[in-house]
Amino acid sequence: MPDPREPAELVTAAAGGDRTAWDELEARYGPRMWAVARASGLSPSDAADAVQGSWLRLLQHLHTLRDPAKVGGWLMTTVRREAHAFLRKRHDVSPFDHDLLTLEAVDDPDPASAVLEADGRRLLWKQVSALHEPCRTLIQLVAIDLGNRQMAARLGMPVGSVGPTKARCLEKLRTLISSQETAQ
């Protein structure tokens, strides 16, 4: 059962050494952090490093957070910065070019198809990042294949609202992608 404490209470308890509070922070925000890292274009291993680095930063700043109630936003910003740092280290490689570098010839022997597929993924995640909340987070949670109950808990909404909200968000995403394709 999820810990009913508010984020600020969890941060304070974690700073005081409460392991269950730390575990609850990880359960609440970990999947979204992974989604942000992967949506930034990191490989699974780089995403793991970015997420781990973000948790380390939280541990380092646990006692000095300006607004502990906004720890979720702080973590998402931190993991996004960590992801961008990884991407900068790779120099001029675009955030989504790793898809081209990691494709195996057996998966798709046609280089043109591989390029088109990578371009499609880049466009998709660019449009997802343009969505407003809760759609942006919901689509990211769909991408990491969370069930409706877990999504509802993460988004703070009733389980019965997830399906209709998901349908509306996917329609908004379709519209954004369609208008982008029409403009090209």
Predicted confidence at residue 177, as pLDDT, reads 82
DSSP structural state of residue 43: -
Share of the chain above pLDDT 70, in %: 80
Instruction: Output the pTM of the full model.
Output: 0.51
Token digits for 125? 């995640």
pLDDT tens for each residue of 150-170: 888 888 889 899 899 999 999
pLDDT band at 98 (very low <50, low <70, confident <90, very high): very low
Q: At the top level of CATH, which class does the domain 7-92 belong to?
A: mainly alpha
What are the extents of the domains in the chain? Answer: 7-92, 111-182
Token digits for 52? 């781990």
Query: Which CATH fold topology does 111-182 show?
Result: Arc Repressor Mutant, subunit A (1.10.10)
Predicted confidence at residue 122, as pLDDT, reads 75
Answer yes or no: same fold for 7-92 and 111-182: no
What backbone phi and psi angles, to 5 degrees, belong to 157?
A: -130, 160
Predicted confidence at residue 123, as pLDDT, reads 76
Name every residue whose Cβ is closer than 8 Å to that of residue 103 and which is 6 or more positions away in sequence: 114, 118
pLDDT tens for each residue of 131-150: 888 888 888 888 776 778 88
pLDDT band at 128 (very low <50, low <70, confident <90, very high): confident
Name which of 62, 51, 54, 47 is nearest 7 in CA terms: 62
Predicted confidence at residue 13, as pLDDT, reads 92
Given a cut of 60, whether residue 105 has pLDDT beyond it is: no
Given a cut of 80, whether residue 25 has pLDDT beyond it is: yes
Given a cut of 60, whether residue 103 has pLDDT beyond it is: no
pLDDT tens for each residue of 28-70: 998 889 888 888 778 888 888 899 999 999 999 988 889 999 9
